[in-house]
Structure 1
Amino acid sequence: MTELTELTEWPVIEYDDIRELRGPLVVVGGVSGAGYDDVATVRLPDGTRRHGVVLEVDRDLAVVQVLEGTAGMSRVGSSVAFAGAPMRIAVGDQWLGRACDGRGEPIDGGPPVGGDRSAAVAGAPLNPTWREPPAEPVLTGVSAVDALTTLVRGQKLPVFSSAGLPHLELAVQIAAQSHVGGAPFSVVFAGMGLTHADAAYVRDALDERATAAELVLLLNTADDPVIERILTPRLALTVAEDLAFTGGRDVLVVMTDMTSYAEALREVSSARGEPPARRAYPGYLYTDLASLYERCGRVRGLPGSVTILPVLTMPAGDITHPVPDLTGYITEGQIVLSADLHGRGVYPPVDPLSSLSRLMRHGAGPGRTRADHLPLTAQLIAALARARQTRELADLIGAAALGDVDRRYLGFAEVVERRLLDQRPDEARPLDDTLDRIWQALRTLPERELVMLPEALRATHRTTRNDDPEAAEVPEVAEVPEVAEVIT
């Protein structure tokens, strides 16, 4: 295993008092000098070695989680040795373009990833006063993200999804298309609990970015040891921190699926016999997730930035489930995928009224994206909220009772879904095109309804409503689909 065998030597003292094998855990007796988070090496009777990390030390007992699992191990003839230091991995530009499993073992046919410097997998504490506020956008080429929930360098912005929705496709599309203008940019993609088909899809879809040496790929599949799933995001963030703060790159870390990660954490906690908390997750789930999400940001005096996009599935679509609930407390907004939009054939099915980016104003607007970006977004959201109310009203009183303005709002919502939100999974849409599409949608509404736009922009609306050649492509009121069609 690259990150252990190249950085640690086999210690002199081996302990063969194996008291218990419990799931992925080994309880060793008679231990001295071992500490929490120390690297351990387990030697089986046939001479093969496995690797682990110390989870707990109580007097002369040590609990070790074995990364490869304890299947096939025997208490007799096995031994454990401790390195006396936390786990470290080689870091540097040599990771770029590589594909590895969740433990850092190459799966691309290349040699083990080595380097002349190393970093602790657990990361290093950061003085909060050294943090710089997130600023400048990360453009993804996805209209629903760039326009409505702009991702900002140094931000942590999760994607909330449900089973059956295309969250993996969206994560891969963002990883493949994202950029920050002309600055050096890299993507670290950490997949956890993926099927082999999904892992192959990720590798194929991101092949171009990997060939350009802009991608680090860490893939943990569903049949890999559960402990590996806990290690995968930590390896990804350690590599990303070095690429950012030593290599001067802006790095986007995409982690999917964090629910699989939390379930692995729950399984290990159960094996350790820890008291369960809400829905049997360990009581320290919040702290553990924060130890990952808070490793993003910008550091004063250092180049580069780390931006985190965690993707998680909500069991039964329940946003109050512990994983999305705690993630929402830690992160700075959310991108919520809608089953209703997905059923209507919209990709990506991002629900604009449930999604937000709390740092959007730090990364959008004059000098960053476009001067009209923030007012256009505010007006779009306000109009979509009115359209949703109108749709609910039509369900109550009937479509025939709606007035002309209400019908225009329903037509506006249809244009937004069809012309703005919906795009191909391989389409990288420029931001100017995205904002122009918002203008086209707003032109279907009367000017008096555009109360969120400053007067200067309303004047632009008046001038371009009939002069812009693209405006002719937007359905006029008479051409908007019938209300019954929109509602269905």
Structure 2
Amino acid sequence: MNTTQLDYTDITEIRGPLMVVRGVDGVGWDEFCRIDTGDGQLRHGLVLEVDGDLAVIQVLEGTTDVVAEKVAIRFDGAPLRIPVGDGWLGRVCNGRGEPLDGGPPVYGREMSSVAGWPLNPVLREPPSQPVLTGVSVIDGLTTLVRGQKLPIFSVAGLPHLELATQIAAQATAGGEPFSVVFAGMGLTHADAAFVRDALDDRSAAGELALLINTAGDPVIERILTPRLALTIAEHLAFTQGRHVLVVAADMTSYCEAVREVSAARGEVPARHAYPGYLYSDLAGLYERCGRIRGRPGSVTILPLLTMPAGDITHPVPDLTGYITEGQIVLSPQVHARGVYPPVDPLSSLSRLMRRGAGPGRTRDDHLDVAAQLLGALARARQARELAELIGAGALGPVDQAYLHFEDRFGRDFVSQRPTEAHTLDQTLERAWQTLSSLPRRELTMIPDRLLDAYYRSDHG
């Protein structure tokens, strides 16, 4: 650790957001430093690499207008640390944690390093109990579970930010202490304003911490934003006992920032010019969520990813899929039919749904109804393909019923307004109304006792 607090002035190179300083002693990786540019400005940096007496520093505010001969750098002797606590709730800050709401800096009794660590697998508790988002197609078919990491895969032009913001605004943990940390990365100013307005009520209630990094902010800040969000969430969850949902939008912007810094460092690129360590970098973020044995809180993460050209094999969604426990896929075809949210249920999956739904957690009929909806939708897709070949009029009455079911599924079950929150009972009631368009004999995945209690046929 550097404890001498010397000023280093031998800057050998400035390249993009990076600065190389010579003659350092006792400096370590991830160490935080303060940079006096010589013109009255103070900037901040993190040590990316140390080689002998050379240190590579990424400058958070960028290196625009910085003259090497005027720079003096002072290392703190420790990684970047931020105050933690409930002082973040109700605040709007940038990606470095500096206030954007006109209030004072956030203070806390404790300080924590933003670098963080993935949870120790030995101490992990399996995710359990639901986080209810108020969005029927998610709560009903791909239930989010406390401690889970469940990404949203989307493409440009779809209302993915609206969906992520809606979830952040209305998610609950069944009456238990609950908070949301929203990390916006690479947002346009219009999108940032939309997020602030949409989340204003939750922020005013002291249930939300909002970190916003816009497209015009330094790219290095984009790399810090999710780390700050997770550091804040970890303290709220594992020290204060809250259930915390972290919404990260958009992780593709984060990965592009990692690629840009990697290129500035001259590293050998891998697939699509992303660095070879992108998988471990993403895992280091996603694996910070979960539950710890003996502690009541949980951290759940809902990352949003936009897939370039809709390519689900692109490195960002591909690597994310290896780390996370399912995915929610948004579909341009569903969006074109005017359905919001445009979720494709047959491409979506929550691998931990059975841990968070069903008897004792949601409702006794939940899992059976979800399985029947998905099975019926798959059969309806087959009927639709057949109708395109031979015409809908040539189909039998059962296939006709499935076509009618598919229409009702989008209109009566999936579709809801962006500001509309459904309770779980309302979601399951909508599911039973949708299934009522099918004859009872087709509902083979639901036990008779549940059909007797809930099924009301449209067929007389």
**TM class by shorter-chain length?**
over 0.9
In the alignment, which residue of structure 2 is the partner of 1:480?
none
Relative distance call for 1:334 and 1:389 in structure 2 (3 A) is same
User: Deviation of residue 11 (structure 1)?
Assistant: 5.9
Residues 292, 298 of structure 2: 8 Å contact kept: yes
The code of the aligned residue for 1:110 comes to G
- Residue 30 of structure 2, aligned match among 14, 34, 37: 37
User: Deviation of residue 416 (structure 1)?
Assistant: 0.7
Secondary structure of 2:73's aligned partner: strand
In the alignment, which residue of structure 2 is the partner of 1:465?
456
Structure 2 spans left out of the alignment, 5+ residues: none
Q: Is 1:386–2:358 an aligned residue pair?
A: no
Residues 5, 75 of structure 2: 8 Å contact kept: no
Which whole-Å CA distance do the structure 1 matches of 2:34 and 2:15 have between them?
17
The code of the aligned residue for 2:456 comes to R
The code of the aligned residue for 2:444 comes to V
Which whole-Å CA distance do the structure 1 matches of 2:287 and 2:75 have between them?
29
| Structure 1 residue runs of 4 or more that deviate by more than 3 Å after TM superposition | 458-461
In the alignment, which residue of structure 2 is the partner of 1:441?
434
In the alignment, which residue of structure 2 is the partner of 1:398?
391
- Which stretch has the larger CA shift, 37-46 or 330-339? 37-46
Q: Is 1:272–2:265 an aligned residue pair?
A: yes
Residues 61, 218 of structure 2: 8 Å contact kept: yes
Aligned positions of 1:68-79 closer than 5 A: 68-79=61-72
User: Deviation of residue 45 (structure 1)?
Assistant: 1.3
Aligned positions of 1:169-184 closer than 5 A: 169-184=162-177
Secondary structure of 2:206's aligned partner: coil
The code of the aligned residue for 2:333 comes to D
User: Deviation of residue 451 (structure 1)?
Assistant: 1.2
1:63-95 C-alpha deviation (Å, 9 max, x unpaired): 000000000101112121211211110000111
- Residue 284 of structure 1, aligned match among 274, 277, 280: 277
User: Deviation of residue 458 (structure 1)?
Assistant: 3.2
- Which stretch has the larger CA shift, 45-54 or 271-280? 45-54
Aligned positions of 1:39-78 closer than 5 A: 39-78=32-71
Which whole-Å CA distance do the structure 2 matches of 1:11 and 1:448 have between them?
79
Which whole-Å CA distance do the structure 2 matches of 1:164 and 1:124 have between them?
35
Which whole-Å CA distance do the structure 2 matches of 1:103 and 1:338 have between them?
34
Which whole-Å CA distance do the structure 2 matches of 1:127 and 1:239 have between them?
18
1:355-391 C-alpha deviation (Å, 9 max, x unpaired): 0100000000011110000000000000000000111
Residues 132, 297 of structure 1: 8 Å contact kept: yes
User: Deviation of residue 125 (structure 1)?
Assistant: 4.8
In the alignment, which residue of structure 2 is the partner of 1:88?
81
The code of the aligned residue for 1:423 comes to Q
Q: Is 1:347–2:340 an aligned residue pair?
A: yes
Relative distance call for 1:317 and 1:183 in structure 2 (3 A) is same
Which whole-Å CA distance do the structure 2 matches of 1:59 and 1:259 have between them?
34
Q: Is 1:361–2:354 an aligned residue pair?
A: yes
Secondary structure of 2:69's aligned partner: coil
- Residue 313 of structure 1, aligned match among 306, 309, 333: 306
User: Deviation of residue 96 (structure 1)?
Assistant: 0.7
The code of the aligned residue for 1:181 comes to G
1:322-343 C-alpha deviation (Å, 9 max, x unpaired): 0000000000000000101111
1:193-245 C-alpha deviation (Å, 9 max, x unpaired): 00011101111110100010000000000000000000000000000000001
Aligned positions of 1:126-165 closer than 5 A: 126-165=119-158
What TM-score does the superposition give when structure 2 sets the normalisation length? Answer: 0.98
User: Deviation of residue 400 (structure 1)?
Assistant: 2.4
1:309-329 C-alpha deviation (Å, 9 max, x unpaired): 000100011100000000000
- Residue 204 of structure 1, aligned match among 193, 197, 200: 197
- Which stretch has the larger CA shift, 233-242 or 12-21? 12-21
Aligned positions of 1:183-194 closer than 5 A: 183-194=176-187
RMSD (Å) for aligned C-alpha atoms: 1.5
User: Deviation of residue 398 (structure 1)?
Assistant: 2.0
In the alignment, which residue of structure 2 is the partner of 1:235?
228
Which whole-Å CA distance do the structure 2 matches of 1:304 and 1:163 have between them?
35
Which whole-Å CA distance do the structure 2 matches of 1:277 and 1:124 have between them?
25
In the alignment, which residue of structure 1 is the partner of 2:256?
263
Q: Is 1:226–2:219 an aligned residue pair?
A: yes
Which whole-Å CA distance do the structure 2 matches of 1:235 and 1:56 have between them?
21
Which whole-Å CA distance do the structure 1 matches of 2:40 and 2:456 have between them?
77
Which whole-Å CA distance do the structure 2 matches of 1:292 and 1:72 have between them?
32
Which whole-Å CA distance do the structure 2 matches of 1:295 and 1:132 have between them?
13
Query: Percentage identity across aligned positions?
Result: 69
Q: Is 1:409–2:402 an aligned residue pair?
A: yes
Residues 188, 251 of structure 1: 8 Å contact kept: yes
Residues 19, 28 of structure 1: 8 Å contact kept: yes
Q: Is 1:373–2:380 an aligned residue pair?
A: no
Relative distance call for 1:186 and 1:445 in structure 2 (3 A) is same
Structure 1 spans left out of the alignment, 5+ residues: 1-8, 478-488
Aligned positions of 1:18-33 closer than 5 A: 18-33=11-26
- Which stretch has the larger CA shift, 273-282 or 83-92? 83-92
Q: Is 1:244–2:237 an aligned residue pair?
A: yes
Q: Is 1:12–2:19 an aligned residue pair?
A: no
The code of the aligned residue for 1:324 comes to P
User: Deviation of residue 126 (structure 1)?
Assistant: 3.2
Secondary structure of 1:323's aligned partner: helix
How many residues get paired? 460
- Residue 423 of structure 1, aligned match among 410, 416, 423: 416
Which whole-Å CA distance do the structure 2 matches of 1:452 and 1:298 have between them?
33
Residues 246, 303 of structure 1: 8 Å contact kept: no
User: Deviation of residue 460 (structure 1)?
Assistant: 3.4
Residues 230, 264 of structure 1: 8 Å contact kept: yes
Which whole-Å CA distance do the structure 2 matches of 1:100 and 1:11 have between them?
32
User: Deviation of residue 423 (structure 1)?
Assistant: 0.2
